[in-house]
Amino acid sequence: MHAASYLADSALIGAEVLDGVRIDIDADGRIAALHPGAAPGDVARLAGLVVPGLPNLHCHAFQRAMAGLAERAGPEGDNFWRWREVMYRFLAALTPEDVQAIAAQTYAEGLCHGYTSAAEFHYLHNAPDGTAYAEPAELALRIVAAAEAAGVGLTLLPVLYRHGGFGAAPAAAGQRRFLLDRDGFAALCGAMARHVPIGIAPHSLRAVGPDDLAWACELAAAFGPATPVHLHVAEQAQEVADCLAWSGARPVAWLLDHAPVDARWCLVHATHVDGDECARLAASGAVAGLCQTTEANLGDGIFPLRPYLAAGGRFGVGSDSNVSASPVEELRWLEYVRRLESRARNVTETRPGASVGASLLARAASGGAQALGRPAGTLAVGNMADLVVLDPAHPALIGRHGTALLDAWVFSGNTTPVAHVMVGGTWVVRNGAHVRGPAIAASFARTMRRLAAAL
């Protein structure tokens, strides 16, 4: 990679949209300098508004290929747990080649919508019969290869999955591809840390008991004091009831009482929290990982975002099951659900006159970068050059300027106005198309046809 410089027509620097910003990028793919009000020179022009790319803080890439398979009416009370059974049957057919092809397509689609990095919550470890592959890291290496092909910034989160439910319940047959013992998990993390940045991901309080959770926290510390720690928590009301029956405490309260939750942590979903849990989660400095399109698709419930923000809570957004590739759709749902709740408008931003779109984008970018442990989320010296260039001639953006352009991006249109995307100093989307899009799409199509015949 070589150092380069660009002159953006405008760029989002902090909370302001500034004109004529020269962006210098060093040979390591980081922002070396920012020069607002720069005169035109002999550097390449970026026609449009440059904004920081959005981190995708929670992704199960393989689920992109099962989107739509669980949308058939079931018995009365159809719910998340029935969806999970569909998912178990689906993943039983996946080969390592399938996993790589699907992940590359998932990441490429996200890049075209403005996701520049992804935290892959990787719990698919074993062969369909539950045995280890000859290369135990086979599927994790496939994720890395897919990320490299797509050009997305990857934080790999190997998942520790030990049990089928609270109280060390035995795992079901559909969960056998997820299971690893401590030695196997530690070896996987060590192997993958040689390839990409990693975090540690105890799957959930359902799947990881207290002793294993404490051990996982020690393992995270051994990889470094800034190692991210992610886990699912309180996604379903039934999970809260089961946790109460097991421990006498609600899931988030139990976690805050028994684990060193701090700014390294991302609590994914945390949908069902009471007022005390909400305030304590905000005070911990952890990030709430909100995946609105998946949470809506699964009928999870509604996270108490307004009181959480009022308490100073941090959040980011994730594609989770990948029923949507767009961070903008996640942000719309964040605002729109709360409008429906309150029968009011512009409710996630309380400062009079402030841009709701700009506020959501900034908070999600900052919280997502924190959750990934990636120096990104803002256009700032020293951060990764993860840049998204918006096309001002796109129908959704024509005639908009400054932060009004960001409001238009978040709250209008269904086609993406993303023109170009850079990750770590390398262009991966040009003129609205992924630079390796045709090859990635062809591989994905072959996988989808094979799966259609197998399922």
CA distance 184 to 378: 37
Query: In the prediction, which pLDDT does 454 show?
Result: 86
Query: In the prediction, which pLDDT does 423 show?
Result: 98
> 109 and 246: one domain?
yes
* Segments forming the whole domain that contains residue 430: 4-51+383-438
Query: In the prediction, which pLDDT does 2 show?
Result: 81
Q: Residue 134 belongs to a domain with what CATH number?
A: 3.20.20.140
Residue 338 is assigned to a structural domain of this protein:
yes
Q: Which of 320, 386, 391, 407 is catalytic?
A: 320
Chain centroid to CA 354: 26
Going by their DSSP bridges, the two strands 44-52 and 426-430 should be labelled as: unpaired
- 320: annotated active-site residue: yes
> What is the DSSP code string of 46-76?
EEEEEEEPEEEEEE-GGGGGGTTTT-S--ST
**Model pTM greater than 0.75?**
yes
Q: How many domains does the chain have?
A: 2
> 202 and 270: one domain?
yes
Q: Which residues of 193-299 form beta strands (DSSP E)?
A: 201-202, 229-233, 265-269, 287-290
Q: Which is it for the CA torsion 130, 131, 134, 136, positive or negative?
A: positive
Q: List, run by run, the mean pLDDT of 10-residue segments along the chain (455 residues).
A: 93 95 98 95 94 98 94 84 90 96 98 98 97 98 98 98 97 96 98 98 98 98 97 97 98 98 98 98 98 96 97 98 97 97 95 96 98 98 98 96 96 95 98 98 97 88
Residue found under tokens 């060093």: 26
Q: Residue 22 belongs to a domain with what CATH number?
A: 2.30.40.10
Query: In the prediction, which pLDDT does 41 show?
Result: 85
> 295 and 332: one domain?
yes
Residue 447 is assigned to a structural domain of this protein:
no
Q: Which of 60, 122, 230, 269 is catalytic?
A: 269
DSSP state of 234: S
Residue 377 is assigned to a structural domain of this protein:
no
> 232 and 141: one domain?
yes
Cβ atoms within 10 Å of 28's Cβ, excluding its own: 12
> 37 and 174: one domain?
no
Q: What tokens does 195 get?
A: 């390839």
> 58 and 37: one domain?
no
